[in-house]
Amino acid sequence: MSNLPEKNGKEILNELFSEQEKFPVEVETESEVGPEIKSLVQKIEEDVVLNQPVIDNYGQTLVSSAAPQNPRIVLPISKNSFTLGLTKKISESIRWLTEWCFRLIKIFGKRASFKEAETKL
């Protein structure tokens, strides 16, 4: 074969890129603003609130506004139905609905409220 000595991967790379051949790394920092411009420019760091969702040419929504963080949760039954449902047998559907509402009350606390009681005419 040839008379070339065996070299590992690092030695081959060191031969390809010598110490003199280093690539400069540019680190960009925030530029200084002159005093004449400082009065005209102010830095604003706020959350962006969209009035309308952003829609592309085909009518698909690209970006929509964020949902409220603490929405009010209205349970699907009134307080009277809730207390009545707790006394029913476990095989009845009103009991299951009541248990589900009870779970939501435990999770969301004061944010969960009962539906307004319907008045019969």
Determine the pLDDT at residue 94.
94
Assess if residue 92 is contained within a domain: yes
Determine the pLDDT at residue 19.
60
Assess if residue 7 is contained within a domain: no
Cα–Cα dist 106/109, whole Å: 6
Assess if residue 100 is contained within a domain: yes
Assess if residue 99 is contained within a domain: yes
Strands 73-74 and 112-113: parallel
Determine the pLDDT at residue 82.
94
Assess if residue 57 is contained within a domain: no
pLDDT tens digits for range 9-50? 666 666 666 565 666 677 777 777 777 777 777 766 777 677
Tally of domains within the chain: 1
- For residue 82, what are the domain limits? 73-113
The whole-number average pLDDT for the span 83-112 is: 94
Determine the pLDDT at residue 49.
73
- Judge whether 62 and 56 are in contact, CB under 8 Å: yes
pLDDT tens digits for range 65-82? 777 678 889 999 999 999
Determine the pLDDT at residue 95.
96
pTM for this entry: 0.44
Determine the pLDDT at residue 61.
82
